[in-house]
Amino acid sequence: MKKISLLLILLLPFCIKAGTISVSGTKTISPGETVTLPVVVSSSNKINGAQAVVTVDGDDFEVLIKKTTSSYKLETGSNNFLVYTGSLSKFIPNKGTAAKIYVKAKSTATPGNTATLTLKKVYLSTLQNDALDDETCANYTTTLTVGEPKSTNNYLSSLEITGYTIAFDRDTTTYSIKVNEPGAALKVNAVAEDEKATVKVSSPTLVEGTNKITVTVTAESGAKRVYTINVTVPTKEVVKNTATNLKTLEVKGYNINFNPDKTEYVLNVENSVKNVEINSTLEDANSTKNMTGPSELKDGENVYEITVTDKDGNKKVYRVTVNRKEAQKECEECQVCEECKDGDTIWKFLAIALVIVTLAETIYMITMRDKKQI
């Protein structure tokens, strides 16, 4: 970087006779505080760079060399500053701030003490071919003063929320309250202990759930303290749409235990049942209903659907499933039903039993006859 700066100085080390340079900004600096002092130039010429040696007398202040902006480059090191664009075709402002000097008052600085800040060997590099004249490039001086130490007090003396009670303590930074309804922001009243401190309250519009309100206290020194109020808004229950409800639903001759919030029902019937009668009424007279399903039951599953539609087009479907038993299968050989087949079997056993009884009786009679003859 030093090579580049040297190149610029060798090529364009021209003092601008028609220009002026000064240092602006606050020059009363409290112990431990750092301030930015803009180097302001005013010239009718185009400027490629600015150079100076910065000095400050006494032991109360020190100069910090920092990069000023991403657009320009600043040489770091020993109280010299050089701002340049790095290109002869680019320029820094010739009206306004060309560079910035950072000055810090040491923490040991004595309030009321003064010091002189001096810009020596000030050069503004330009494309003008002016002859170098050291005498016309006079040094620039300004006075720095050590101010009173700035307060670091960033406490609140009071914190109130209109309509609510909190146990405020300056050292407690977190509080919690509950509110009944969402809506407008709460009114928070916060007062700083130090009149030189500033207070900023964030007041978001409350929504359901947890809301965070922050109270930021900034001391005169810039030190911040944040108090947080966690505000809980209960979640409202979702209002059910009863306009899509049935008031009643019945299957004539059967009990289905109807409930408006229950949409599925199952009913089992004998094979002898050919059809069912389903009746329903609406809970909201402004709604409509439509039922679909078979006019005559078939063996197995039969589905009936009652669709309720409210005036806004919202729908709810109630479903009744009727399971009808299947018919008894016939015997493949005799082509009679299983029940008849079972009946025939019984009669066969009875016939065999009758034959056995008759045969036993005949044998008995013959035996008794023979005994009498003997």
For the chain, what percent of residues have pLDDT higher than 90? Answer: 48
Q: Mean pLDDT across the stretch 127-153? A: 70
Q: How far apart are CA 27 and CA 108, in angstroms?
A: 17
HSE (side-chain half, CA atoms, 13 Å) at 115: 24
Name which of 111-120, 129-138, 217-226 the model is least confident about.
Answer: 129-138
Does the pTM exceed 0.75?
A: no
Radius of gyration of the chain (CA): 52
Annotate 192-254 with DSSP letters as a single string: ESSTTSEEEE--PPB-SEEEEEEEEEE-TTS-EEEEEEEEEEPPPPPPP-GGG-EEEEEETTB
Q: How far apart are CA 196 and CA 2, in angstroms?
A: 45
More confident residue, 187 or 21: 187
Instruction: Band the pLDDT of 2: cuts 50, 70, 90.
Output: very low
* Residue 243: closest CA among 342, 175, 311: 311
Q: Mean pLDDT across the stretch 319-326? A: 95
pLDDT surpassing 60 at residue 4? no
pLDDT surpassing 80 at residue 245? yes
Amino acid at 171: D
More confident residue, 210 or 343: 210
Annotate 328-355 with DSSP letters as a single string: PPBPTTT--BHHHHHHHHHHHHHHHHHH
More confident residue, 320 or 371: 320
